[in-house]
Amino acid sequence: MSKPTGTTPRTAGIKTYAIGLVAAWTLVTGGSLIWNYYQQRTEARDMARLEALARFEKDVIFRRWNAGLGGIYAPRTKTTPPNPYLKHVKERDITTPSGRLLTLINPAYMTRQVHEIGLASHGSRGHITSLKPIRPENAADPWERRALQAFEGGKKEVVSIVTIDHKPHLRFMRPLTTEKGCLQCHASQGYKLGQVRGGISISIPMEPYLVMAHHQSLHLAWAHLVLWLLGLGGIVFGARRLEWHEREQNRAHAARAKLVTELQEALDQINTLRGIIPICANCKKIRDDDGFWNQVEVYVREHSLAQFSHSMCPDCVTEFYPEYSEDADAPENTPENDPEDNPKDDLKDDPEDDPEDDPTAK
């Protein structure tokens, strides 16, 4: 590839266009990277929400199963003491024929214990709550209170990212409606079938999902960097090729213009008689560059575009063809007919004009 000979307006325009393309390509790839980054964050949030939703639906299913059975009995232990809020139930505590002590586990009690196990094993938190809780520990925190108030206004779900213990968590909450099995414990609170009487909030740690999103974002960043470099290389290569073609085209135009100028100058020199032309003082022949003597019309025709048409002037007609001359009837004492005034006769009589003595006649 030839070296550049200079910057022309068109090559400068190509550079400006290439810079614009680089800027546009950078914006496109950068925008794509940012969009994909936020997509990864959104997908992490959606996956955490799906986990919270699965946990909520599992809790609701188990609650319905428990309520449908009227509660279940479990051995009385330190972790499963009798529920003080079921004192009004006659068979809250029973003894098996073998002497084992059992206590009644209602849906709320069972849900609370499941949430405690989940917190210990997975770090996820669950909380059954209400604006009118029977158990004080089930009272709603400010976030849950706002969600419960939104449920009473008709909202079906509340989701947000919050910080719990200095770590990001997804908080998810859906309402619990009053079903027939719930009235056994909550009818005294004035709840009716289908009425929102509380909700279950689930808190899912976001750290595992964010770590996964971070790794995917790194892969996307490297992929976008490689893509950006490939695009940049293509733009630079294309711009260089365009500049090279432009320079070659300019060289071709310049060479053609120079050739046209040289040809025109040569043609002007051919078609124009210039300088000192050696011409015979007597016969009027012209000596060419090769030393040959040529008739005037031959020399002019060969060194110009002029062409000759032969004719005779009136004086020559009178001299050589007097019978065709318009002055044939004129008096005879004209200078042409007077020997004394005729220069030709003088030349004939003058010995100094003898052609033998004329060096030019050779």
Highest mean pLDDT among 17-26, 326-335, 338-347: 17-26
Instruction: Yes or no: say if 108 and 122 are a contact pair by the CB < 8 Å rule.
Output: no
pLDDT digits 0-9 by tens, 103-149: 999 888 899 889 888 888 878 889 999 888 888 888 999 999 999 99
Has residue 276 got a pLDDT over 70? yes
What is the dihedral angle through the alpha carbons of 125, 130, 133, 135, rounded to the nearest 10 degrees? -10
Sheet holding 72-75, edge to edge: 72-75, 101-105, 93-95
Cα 140 vs. chain centroid, distance in angstroms?
A: 52
Output the pLDDT for position 68. Answer: 85
Mean pLDDT in residue range 228-234? 93
Instruction: Give residue 209's pLDDT.
Output: 93
Its pTM stands at: 0.60
Burial (0-12, 13-18, 19+ Cβ within 10 Å), 27: exposed
Between residues 95 and 333, which one has the greater pLDDT? Answer: 95
Identify the sign of the CA torsion 268, 271, 272, 274. positive
Task: Give me the mean pLDDT over the 56-84 stretch.
Answer: 91
User: What pLDDT sits at residue 348?
Assistant: 47
Confidence of residue 326 (pLDDT cuts 50, 70, 90): low
Of residues 177 and 354, more confidently modeled: 177
Question: Domain residue spans in the chain?
Answer: 10-71+106-213, 286-361
Pick the CATH number of 10-71+106-213 from 3.30.70, 1.10.8, 3.30.450, 3.90.550: 3.30.450
Question: b vs e for 35-60, b when ≥16 Cβ sit within 10 Å of the residue's Cβ?
Answer: ebbeebbeebbebbbebbbebbeebb
